[in-house]
Amino acid sequence: MVISMFIAAAAPDELTRQRYIEAVEAAAAVDFYHAHCRGDVSARRMDNLNKLLVSSRRMTILEVKDDYFPERNYRHVEQRLERDFMALLRENGGCAGAKAAGLIEQFTARYEAALAAIRALP
């Protein structure tokens, strides 16, 4: 009984779940850009987000992907995020067009805002 009450109390509300999703999507966009357009496959933003989630929320990115994304499967989430990124890259004329359009700056601002939103959670 006590355990079920703790689990119910620990479940995040819809706004919090949306913040987690937004942060994962934002980190993926920046990392995909760096991987596809700059040859940097370090996934630094996902790593930093994961560290933030583990230290402040006691959860990982994989848990967010499995529990809060509509696909409910981290592999399917990763595939969709990459497909969506590649479609956006094509729409903008590849890496050169994305750079000219300032997409990396937009991706980075979105990522920083998402991290700030998670840090601001109670």
- At 9 the pLDDT is 44
Q: At what angle do helices 14-37 and 44-57 cross, to 10 degrees?
A: 160
What DSSP string describes 75-113? HHHHHHHHHHHHHHHHHTTHHHHHHHTTHHHHHHHHHHH
The mean of the pLDDT values for the chain is 91
Mind listing the pLDDT tens digit for each residue in 14-47? Answer: 999 999 999 999 999 999 999 999 998 889 999 9
Mind listing the pLDDT tens digit for each residue in 100-115? Answer: 999 999 999 999 999 9
Q: What is the pTM of this model?
A: 0.88
Q: Show Cβ contacts of residue 24 under 8 Å, excluding neighbours closer than 6 positions.
A: 46, 49, 61, 64, 65, 69, 77, 81
